[in-house]
Amino acid sequence: MEYRPLGRTGVRLSALGLGTMMFGDRLDEADSVRMVHAALDAGVNLIDTADVYSGGGSERIVGKALKDRRHEAFLATKVRRAMPGDSRPNAEGLSRLHIMQAAEASLSRLGTDYIDLYQVHWADPDTPIEETLRALDDLVRQGKVRYIGCSNFPAWRLARSLWKSDVHGLARFESNQVNFNLLQREVEEEILPLCTEERVSALAFSPLAGGLLTGKYNDGTAPPGSRGEGNESWRGRLAPSNLTFLRGLAGLGQQAGRAMMDLAVGWLLNVPQVASVLAGPSSLEQWEDYLAAAARPLAPDVARAVEVLQRETGAGLPRHSRYL
Ligand SMILES: NC(=O)c1ccc[n+]([C@@H]2O[C@H](COP(=O)([O-])OP(=O)(O)OC[C@H]3O[C@@H](n4cnc5c(N)ncnc54)[C@H](OP(=O)(O)O)[C@@H]3O)[C@@H](O)[C@H]2O)c1
């Protein structure tokens, strides 16, 4: 396993991280626990969850899986959204009040007394960033959180947050978890240059665009049992330009003797600002595929051909809506 630095810290993250959004959802508890153990055995240390995944179920399962192996993992979770069914006025957002309550709830579900990376899931324009950063800094000082990160932050908001941390001597965001894959590339415009300048890591989520980049949608329909099946909002993702690209990518994979998803994962791993690519497996077999994809770098000529194909087909998904 390759390891890369997290932001300005001395921590090294596995270049492939295990995303656990499917735990307690498409993946049952037993397989989820097996997957965490398989990941640790393979040298993966970054395990990414969120309080809201499966209504707290993902954190609970991750906690069980790490019971005797907590020290092997770099455990990342998130705060921002209300838990399902909780409509109290302060059940969401990035106020000190909500962050403190949510952190205690996550620690309890995870069965641990510290979170390695506490990430704000997306921005809260109603709460001053100073309030959010002070609350996060307090959690760091209390030893409940090791490092802090953000997610879905546009460049201007991340730059402003870093400035506030600097001015007030508060913990700084070491990472920005962003929607980044061959069909979703707007982070390259401003977020990645800022990451370079400020030494903030990008953690790439949805590396396969939810499964599109595996090739299983290449005939223009969602296969039975897939995330896209019966999901109206997925129809637009299968626009003609995207299908042209996906079919071309399958061809490039064949020529190179690599699976299509190897090209998608390998392309992301070539991006210097990406510290880790967050896999989102729905089965143990899929997890093995991500591991295989990350194990072998892309040959430079294949990487170039992928890049040219994307540009020439004009393939892409609508801009990510969470960059507030
Ligand atoms: N910060 C945020 O706002 C945010 C948002 C989303 C995700 N995330 C994080 O990023 C992680 C990954 O995101 P993601 O789940 O969207 O990742 P992804 O890699 O883009 O999509 C994962 C999906 O692709 C399909 N897939 C994967 N491997 C496959 C294979 N070998 N063959 C066929 N299909 C395959 C599966 O869908 P099927 O179930 O259809 O088989 C799987 O659930 C999440 O677990 C979470 O930790 C963060």
Q: Round to whole Å and give the CA distance between 63 and 75.
A: 10
Q: 14-25 b/e with 16+ CB inside 10 Å = b?
A: bbbbbbbbbbbb
pLDDT digits (tens, 9 = 90+) for 177-202: 999 999 999 999 999 999 999 999 99
* Atom 30 (ligand 1) nearest CA: 286
- Is there a catalytic annotation at residue 53? yes
pLDDT digits (tens, 9 = 90+) for 63-98: 999 999 999 999 999 999 999 999 999 999 999 999
Instruction: Please give the pLDDT value at position 320.
Output: 84
* Atom 26 (ligand 1) nearest CA: 211
Instruction: Please give the pLDDT value at position 312.
Output: 95
* Atom 13 (ligand 1) nearest CA: 206
pLDDT digits (tens, 9 = 90+) for 292-313: 999 999 999 999 999 999 999 9
Instruction: Tell me the pTM.
Output: 0.97
Q: What does the angle CA 197 – CA 193 – CA 81 come to, to the nearest 5 degrees?
A: 100
Look-up of token digits 């302060």: 90
Atom of ligand 1 nearest to the CA of 177: 1
Instruction: Please give the pLDDT value at position 236.
Output: 85
Q: Round to whole Å and give the CA distance between 82 and 98.
A: 9
Dihedral angle over CA of 102, 104, 106, 112, nearest 10: 160
- Per-residue pLDDT band for 234 (boundaries 50, 70, 90) equals confident
pLDDT digits (tens, 9 = 90+) for 93-132: 999 999 999 999 999 999 999 999 999 999 999 999 999 9
The two tokens of residue 145 are 């959180």
CA of 286 to the centre of ligand 1 (A): 10
Instruction: Please give the pLDDT value at position 24.
Output: 97
Pocket of ligand 1, beta carbon within 6 A: 19-22, 26, 48, 121, 151-152, 177, 205-211, 214, 216, 226-227, 261, 278-282, 286, 289
Q: Round to whole Å and give the CA distance between 67 and 34.
A: 13
